[in-house]
């Protein structure tokens, strides 16, 4: 059945980490239509506009146009092309076609099907003049909940994630001390574009890593040419153990302060989010660091409320000091029960990237 949404209030499809559907839907402040536990996606309705940069738990933001709940197995192409042609509220042309699935075990079983089917649909849409090679144009998303149920929507490059399924995949270096290396790599790529990374993560800059052991985040910084003071009572491991660019101090991360301001503070300590937030705010407000990138470990219950409280405490401290700052938070692909936060005294980006 072809379910047109043209006469209804605006509907949105958002991807998220399975298990966080409630938080993802709640932060939009829109009416929840579909948010099945552990499904990896939500549907909401009623908000005319949503800003992807302000959404913490959403991996992707897609304006929904239509859905097909009973896609035939023998001929999926014909009804899909007809449904796309009937979308009166959709863009005229698209710069990319993404066939996507939920980030679940069931979703992964559909990946071979979408890989085989995508070239057929791309060719048909190209022949019809709907699909052209232009990265500035909106993307067309076909989200296969299963092989028979597909949601069709679009996203604009300036208000969405630039990666299929909203997932920025990273390669694990053989010499990285731990998989936490991937978290910081993803965070830098998410919060800073390529030019900003060159400017703000330049070789020779200084950093402090609180709770550094066994050294995954420290190693990510060292690979970018930074000199790192690693603070942890535990041991550094592997390549990070005796590296000349790393100074390991066995001290309490909540008590340590550098003798001189540093360019970066990173922190992945397992502690209550309010306590970590207060520490990060103090470092930035006092001028001990220019930029901070850190994780807030969320409790099992009331995760959204705990995050809002921590972020509001950071704002309160910096506002009271009259500090100009930039604050962003995101639930990364490599995160689990934590949220990664970027806090900077520099207003790195004053407008959305085009």
Element at 36 (helix H, strand E) = none
Asked whether the CA dihedral 110, 106, 36, 296 is positive or negative, the reply is negative
Tokens of 155: 């996203």
The yes-or-no answer on residue 108 being catalytic is no
Candidates 292, 237, 241; CA nearest to 269 is: 292
From 297, 301, 309, 321, active-site residue: 297
111, exposed or middle or buried, with CB in 10 Å at 0-12, 13-18, 19+? middle
- Cα 194–Cα 326–Cα 196 angle in degrees, nearest 5: 15
Which residue's structure tokens are 């309490």?
A: 252
Q: What is the 3-state secondary structure (H, E, C) of 104-148?
A: CHHHHCCHHHHHHHHHHHHHHHHHCCCECCCCCCCEEEEEECCCC
Beta strand segments in 134-282, E: 139-144, 150-155, 206-210, 227-231, 246-249, 262-267
Residues annotated as catalytic are 297
């Amino acid at each position: 059945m072809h379910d047109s949404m043209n006469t209804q209030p605006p509907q949105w499809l958002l991807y998220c980490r399975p298990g966080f559907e409630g938080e993802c839907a709640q932060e939009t402040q829109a009416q929840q239509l579909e948010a099945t536990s552990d499904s990896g996606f939500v549907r909401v309705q009623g908000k005319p506009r949503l800003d992807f940069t302000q959404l913490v738990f959403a991996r992707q933001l897609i304006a929904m146009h239509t859905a097909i709940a009973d896609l035939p197995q023998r001929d999926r192409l014909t009804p899909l092309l007809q449904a796309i042609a009937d979308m009166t509220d959709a863009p005229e042309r698209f710069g990319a076609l993404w066939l996507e699935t939920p980030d679940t075990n069931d979703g992964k079983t559909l990946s071979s099907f979408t890989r085989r089917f995508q070239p057929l649909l791309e060719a048909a849409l190209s022949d019809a003049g709907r699909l052209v090679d232009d990265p500035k144009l909106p993307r067309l998303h076909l989200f296969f909940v299963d092989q028979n149920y597909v949601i069709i929507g679009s996203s604009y490059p300036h208000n969405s994630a630039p990666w299929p399924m909203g997932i920025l995949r990273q390669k694990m270096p053989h010499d990285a001390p731990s998989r936490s290396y991937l978290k910081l790599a993803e965070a830098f790529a998410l919060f800073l574009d390529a030019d900003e990374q060159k400017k703000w993560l330049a070789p020779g800059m200084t950093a402090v890593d609180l709770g550094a052991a066994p050294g995954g985040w420290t190693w990510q910084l060292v690979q970018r040419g930074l000199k790192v003071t690693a603070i942890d009572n535990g041991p550094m491991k592997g390549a990070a153990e005796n590296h000349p660019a790393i100074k390991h101090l066995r001290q309490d991360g909540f008590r340590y302060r550098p003798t001189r301001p540093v360019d970066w503070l990173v922190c992945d300590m397992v502690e209550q989010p309010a306590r970590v937030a207060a520490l990060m705010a103090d470092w930035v407000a006092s001028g001990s660091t220019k930029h901070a990138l850190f994780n807030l470990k969320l409790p099992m219950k009331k995760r959204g409320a705990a995050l809002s409280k921590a972020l509001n405490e950071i704002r309160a401290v910096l506002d009271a000091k009259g500090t100009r700052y930039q604050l962003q938070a995101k639930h990364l692909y490599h995160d689990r029960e934590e949220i990664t936060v970027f806090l900077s005294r520099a207003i790195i980006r004053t407008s959305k990237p085009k």
